[in-house]
Amino acid sequence: MKQPFIMEEIVSVLKRVAPSNKDFVALHEPSFQGNEWSYVKECLDTGWVSSVGKYVDRFEEMLSEYTGVKRAVAVVNGTAALHICLKLVGVESDDEVIVPTLTFIASANAISYCQAIPHFVDSSVETLGLDPNKLADYLLEITEVRNNSCYNKQTGRRIKAVVPMHTFGHPVELDTLVDVCQRYHLELIEDAAESLGSYYKGRHTGNWGRATALSFNGNKIMTTGGGGAILTNDEELGKWAKHLTTTAKKPHNWEFVHDQVGYNYRMPNINAALGCAQLEQLPDFLTRKRALAARYHKVFSKVDGVSFVTEPDFGSSNYWLNAIMLSPKWSHLRDDILQATNEQGIMTRPVWKLLSDLPMYAATPRMDLSVAKQLESCIINIPSSASLGAVHVET
């Protein structure tokens, strides 16, 4: 009986590599072992819990320093960050925006908030992210460049931007993508929601696009409860991001003058306090997560029919969310494996359903999506908390 064997094998590996004292091993849970407590307490003691306060400023400075990007603007979550990034680069109503079909729903929703249309593209097996070579061939076929803008010849609409997402922390192939964007006059926005601590050719992800979105949701490598940030190397864009996310209110001692339709996307100070404490521990989280991934890699390399997803050669991944791929002959067992592991208290999940298959995006433009479709059928995410990386186990 081959079928039960691979399922048992996977369950056995997960139990050995990511053991836990608890009945239930989460997919990803945060760890609060640093200054979270004292920073949050300070907010309560001083009464500065809301949208103005020193932790917001400090968190933004720390993010900028850590990523090497000139300006960081803290916001309520990654979706809000992405929404503002699109606004910053000039995405307008009825524009198309290139986005992978294999990503979290926020990628497409943020485009919809701008009354723009997601144009779905395929993924790379190496990075799980947008495939820039396949994109280049596709753009050559379907677009024309006029007056420094790129137009979809099939729909007549302008294509304004490309939003790659660094899936599970693994960086996409940015050199090629930057080149494609330049050739086609497309703005590059990096969705680095999952890749804080990940590098492409030695430079932090989020440092390549005109604007970048980060997320600090509870399941991310570090958390602020809920939160996100916008990164940009363009000082003017950074100022505008701050203005747009703080209701576009002009500075004044008492007057309420707002000069454009703005957003209430400020991160509260109490959440930023959590963020400062978490960011201090990020190097340690990274060490643990990479240690956990190395153990998974080693053990899964002995399991037939399963491969562990590793970082691409050109990058260093934060290994935010570990993943295995079932070989094609076993991908029909994906749901059985999900069922068996979850029933045994080991949380696993499939990758997202392709966005191009969701009802509200059914009528949107797309290229051939066969690689993403295949990835959707065979990827399983496995427990990835930094705390699991600390446990010393014999593998």
Q: Where on the chain is the footprint of its own copies (CB under 8 A)?
A: 29-32, 36-37, 40-41, 43-45, 47-52, 76-80, 104-106, 109, 112-113, 115, 217-219, 223-226, 247-249, 253-264, 266-271, 274, 338, 342, 348-350, 352-353, 358-360
Residue closer to its own copies, measured from CB, 74 or 292: 74
Exposed/middle/buried for 297, CB within 10 Å: 0-12, 13-18, 19+? middle
Question: Which residue, 247 or 344, has its beta carbon nearer to its own copies?
Answer: 247
Enter the DSSP assignment of 293. Answer: H
As a whole number of Å, the CA-based R_g of the chain is 21
Which residue is associated with the tokens 């002959």? Answer: 329
The residue (of 218 and 283) whose beta carbon lies closer to its own copies is 218
Shortest Å distance, C-beta 360 to its own copies: 5
End-to-end CA distance of the chain: 25
Any long-range contacts for 43-48 (C-beta under 8 Å, 24+ apart)?
A: 43/269, 43/270, 43/273, 44/270, 48/269
CB of 24 to its own copies, least distance (A): 12
Pairing of strands 379-382, 322-326: antiparallel
Q: Which of 160, 220, 242, 289 is catalytic?
A: 220
Q: Least distance from C-beta 184 to its own copies, angstroms?
A: 27
Q: Which two tokens stand for residue 344?
A: 């045994």
Q: How far is the CB of 183 from its own copies (least distance, A)?
A: 31
Q: How far apart are CA 326 and CA 270, in angstroms?
A: 42
Residue 77 or 143: the one with the smaller Cβ distance to its own copies is 77
220 is catalytic: yes
Query: Look-up: residue for tokens 């399922």?
Result: 7
CA distances from 36 to 46, 102, 193, 222 (A): 16, 34, 21, 12
Beta-bridge mates of residue 204 = 199
Cβ 52 to its own copies shortest distance, Å: 8
Output 120 or 208, the one with its CB closest to its own copies: 120
The one-letter amino acid code at 236 reads E
Residues annotated as catalytic are 220
